Amino acid sequence: MRKAKDNKNILKRYYRPTITTCPRCNTLLHRHWTLWDKYLITLDGRIHIFSLGYSCNRRRCSRVIYRSDEAEHLSPKGSSFGFDVIAQIGWWRFWDHRTLDEIAALLNAKCLPVSRRHILNLIGDFLALLRATQPAKIEAHRAYFKRHGVVISLDGMEPEQGNEMLFVVREANLDLTLVAETLYSSRADLISRHLLEPIKALGFRIRAVISDADKNIRRAVETSLPDCPHQACQVHCLCEAGAPIFEADRAMKTDLRRDLRAKLRPSSRALSQAPQDDPQSAVLMDYCEALRDALRADGISPFKLAGLKLYDELHRLEMSLRRCQKKRNTVSCLPCWTSRSSATNTLSLILN
């Protein structure tokens, strides 16, 4: 059952227009009515907001209602959450990469209980506000764009096959988003109409375009920007060029994992049966853990090759084990000396 909110001790704030006299006849404005009032949730808590409307009583003056700009800037129209709460939730989600449950816990810590479903609605409000500020961001760099022109990067993301695609156009030098649109298809005419034409409408000189080698994107650039240089993204080219090397490295990593895991299992089994007070067995268990960590390594095309990294790690572990094997006749303490044979056998099993 939904609990009713306690509004008895809520702080009340009244907002009036900043001007006190009529701009036309310079007479004192009088309170006309309460334009709106609502309970607003802010980072400082819940408050009861009243926006008061004022007007001039003279007949010759137009019946204009003056309101408070400050009250209108506290929250979006029709929302009971302030801009500060919406901006904070957006920061937690997209800059701090918090999950919905983490955001709910942070809001509860501030005594602002918001349901998990409504947090999604507020994230949508934040994205709408973020998009509304894009023209102002572009206008702030107008002098730079007039002098240096625009180098745009164009890329599309498709979460699942057959679903809508998100296309983002950014200014490559400033890392500034210019246009972002969701398209139901990656056809060249849609890319040209919804992405490239709005960039041309800004009126800046487009110096170059950077994108992947997608045929539809290349066709759209040729249609909308025929004289503009178009370069394929070097990261995409390197990934394509390094694909054979990456596949060969993955095959080598698979073979190394298969051979090492077959030897690592009996070694771990032998060490688990050794006495717990054996210091050499404890050291060898650390080596086994280091081997397991090395086998879990993964790579990212085109430069981070997991097979070569695994090979280097195995080489370092082997050199360390060889040094330990050379020092096995060194007597350090009685338990090490008495348990030397079982540990030596396990060490030989790992190395061979």
Q: What is the pLDDT of residues 280-295, one digit of tens each?
A: 777 778 878 888 888 8
Q: What is the mean pLDDT of residues 312-333?
A: 71
Q: Determine contact, residues 283/339, Cβ cutoff 8 Å.
A: no
> pLDDT: is 300 or 17 the higher one?
17
pLDDT at 183 over 70: yes
pLDDT at 192 over 60: yes
Q: What pLDDT shows up at residue 348?
A: 53
**Across the chain, where does the E strand assignment appear?**
11-15, 30-42, 45-55, 150-157, 165-171, 176-183, 206-211, 230-232
Q: Which residues are CB-neighbours of 107 under 8 A, at least 6 positions away? A: 89, 113, 114, 119
Q: What pLDDT shows up at residue 3?
A: 61
Q: How far apart are CA 328 and CA 332, in angstroms?
A: 10
pLDDT at 121 over 80: yes
Q: What is the mean pLDDT of residues 338-345?
A: 45
Q: Determine contact, residues 292/257, Cβ cutoff 8 Å.
A: no
Q: What is the mean pLDDT of residues 249-263?
A: 82
> pLDDT: is 124 or 300 the higher one?
124
pLDDT at 336 over 80: no
> What is the average pLDDT score of the chain?
82
Q: What residue has token string 């909308």?
A: 224
Q: What pLDDT shows up at residue 119?
A: 93
Q: What pLDDT shows up at residue 5?
A: 67
CB burial readout 149-174, b (16+ within 10 A) else e: ebbbbbbbeeeeeeeebebebbbebe
pLDDT at 31 over 50: yes
% of the chain with per-residue pLDDT over 70:
89
User: Considering the entire predicted model, what is its pTM?
Assistant: 0.59
Confidence of residue 275 (pLDDT cuts 50, 70, 90): confident
Closest CA to 182 of 169, 193, 198, 166: 166
Closest CA to 217 of 249, 183, 192: 192
Q: Determine contact, residues 51/70, Cβ cutoff 8 Å.
A: no
pLDDT at 98 over 60: yes
pLDDT at 126 over 90: yes
Q: What is the mean pLDDT of residues 156-170?
A: 79
Q: How far apart are CA 284 and CA 288, in angstroms?
A: 6
For 255, the token pair is 């073979």
Q: What pLDDT shows up at residue 18?
A: 87
Q: Which residues are CB-neighbours of 339 under 8 A, at least 6 positions away? A: 274, 275, 278, 280, 281
Q: How far apart are CA 308 and CA 316, in angstroms?
A: 12
Q: What are the DSSP calls for 111-145, one per residue?
A: T----HHHHHHHHHHHHHHHHHTHHHHHHHTHHHH
% of the chain with per-residue pLDDT over 90:
15
Q: Determine contact, residues 29/56, Cβ cutoff 8 Å.
A: yes
Q: What pLDDT shows up at residue 162?
A: 66
